[in-house]
Structure 1
Amino acid sequence: MSAAADLENQQPKDHHLLVDDQHSRRSNTLNETLDPHHPVTKVFTNGDYIQFGNEKYLKKDLMHAFGGTLNPGLSPPPKNDFANPAPLGLSAFALTTFVLSLINCEARGVKIPNIVVGLAFFYGGAAQLVAGMFEIAVGNTFGGVALSSYGGFWGAYAALLVPSFGIGAAYAEDTKQLSNAIGLFLVAWFIFTFFMMLMTLKSTVAFFSVFFFLMITFLLLAISEFTGKTSVKKAGGVFGLITAFAAWYNAYAGIANPQNSYITVKAIELPDLEEKYKKQK
């Protein structure tokens, strides 16, 4: 049987993974301390191949960090025939963010955000949630968590603007308490986005930019709710616009290829700080 056939017919097994590091001798210690029924198996390279546990892949076939697939780091390719769901989720997020951010900037004198309700429920919400579920189906945990969570955010935000949910009515005439409550809501999303951003530090500039600018957007909007300052809200709108264009850029990167466009996107990697530190030592 050929090597290619062996690769296709291999059966995955449960295993712990330990990167084979020549400079470290901790492997035996870990083998002794972990559950003996789940032994450690090393990730190691062999010529043109790299092995994750008992599964072997060609190095060139591994997925690298790329915003167009919402993949934050080196990983095996998905074992399915699904299309890439990331551009749908990114586009839904980008367009809904774009419209709300224009309103936060008071573009064309529009200050009432209710025009976003339909987008937030059906595009930024439902479409992005579906994309997140498909990310989980293709084995991309990061993409699944990110898109599904922000899909939930847009649904929750739309609920704030729909009277039948009773959220605004619960605060009666106490508008200050309502503003503080919305501020706390936005702070929670700022914290979540901060942790998601940390998982893009080994990816690309465009991929990292989406979460970095979104984090700043949430923070500014939260501050504007706490302080009531319109200037801070407008600043949040500006950063929201930057976030939207960064998300659209990543969506385009996941769709455009030489077969459908003359303009394709080349990923710009973030500096490998870990490798730089090792060289300094």
Structure 2
Amino acid sequence: MSDAQMKPLANPGPLGLVGFGLTTVLLSLINAHILPSGGEAVVIPLALAYGGLIQLIAGLLEFRTGNTFGLVAFLSYGAFWWWFAMLLLFSGNGLLDLSAAGPTIGVALLLWGVFTFYMWIATFRLNRALWFVFLTLWITFLLLGIGDTFGASAIGTAGGYVGILCGASAMYTSFAEVVNATFGRVVAPVGARD
């Protein structure tokens, strides 16, 4: 079959975005103290199955479409959710002792913020909806990292609120890409760059 006869590939981006967004909203509701911290027991399987696995699949599919940004973003944040879930599982079951970790988790979140900041710079060439997702995500990591590193719970709570905005904007971007592709026209704008 020639390239001209090949059926176009589906866009895996909306799948990865909703996996990321939905999981981020749920955890951020806990970080913002809107839901109880015991709700992390619900986040763990969601982080493994939807935030993690779905993003890993979407990232691998982005490889097939030649989208370097999508590949790096979805594989990285899918791995983030696996790291987060395993951290909670292992520490909650006595397989990891985090009592002597000090600010290490906060520093890890700050490093995720650095990574997200450079991914945000790449979104300057993408649509404005993705630009906003990555803007709010690096701010979320920054606030959560500062809050955890320095024991500033109010800053961590603020990170939870920004995370809700980030996750909701990722879900909107997924929605927009799905309905726009389905209808074959712009139904939900994403702020396309010229």
TM class, shorter-length: 0.7 to 0.9
Q: Which of 121, 125, 138 in structure 2 is aligned with 1:198?
A: 121
Q: Which has the higher strand share?
A: 1
Contact in 1 for aligned 2:173/2:190 (Cα 8 Å): no
Offset at residue 228 of structure 1 (A): 1.4
The unaligned stretches of length 5 or more in structure 1 are: 1-6, 10-78, 273-281
> How do 1:125-164 and structure 2 match up within 5 A?
125-163=52-90
> How do 1:7-18 and structure 2 match up within 5 A?
8=4
Offset at residue 137 of structure 1 (A): 0.9
Residue 29 of structure 1 corresponds to none
Residue 43 of structure 1 corresponds to none
Residue 23 of structure 2 corresponds to 96
For 1:218, give the aligned amino acid.
Answer: F
Contact in 1 for aligned 2:16/2:74 (Cα 8 Å): yes
Offset at residue 166 of structure 1 (A): 2.5
Distance 2:52 2:161 in 1: 22
Identical columns (%) = 38
Distance 2:124 2:186 in 1: 26
Q: What TM-score results when the alignment is normalised by the length of structure 2?
A: 0.88
Cα displacement string for residues 143-174 of structure 1 (whole angstroms, at most 9, x for unaligned residues): 1110111000000010110135833x2x4x43
Residue 227 of structure 1 corresponds to 150
**Secondary structure of residue in 1 paired with 2:180:** coil
* Change in CA separation of 1:80 and 1:223 when aligned onto 2, cut-off 3 Å: farther
Offset at residue 203 of structure 1 (A): 2.3
Contact in 2 for aligned 1:159/1:165 (Cα 8 Å): no
Q: Which has the higher contact order (CA 8 A, sep 6+)?
A: 2
Aligned residues: 189
- Give the alignment's Cα RMSD to 1 decimal: 2.4
Cα displacement string for residues 164-199 of structure 1 (whole angstroms, at most 9, x for unaligned residues): 5833x2x4x43xx34x11011101111110110110
Distance 2:49 2:159 in 1: 24
Q: Which has the higher helix share?
A: 2
Offset at residue 260 of structure 1 (A): 5.2
Contact in 2 for aligned 1:183/1:223 (Cα 8 Å): yes
Residue 14 of structure 2 corresponds to 87
Residue 191 of structure 2 corresponds to 268
Residue 95 of structure 2 corresponds to 166
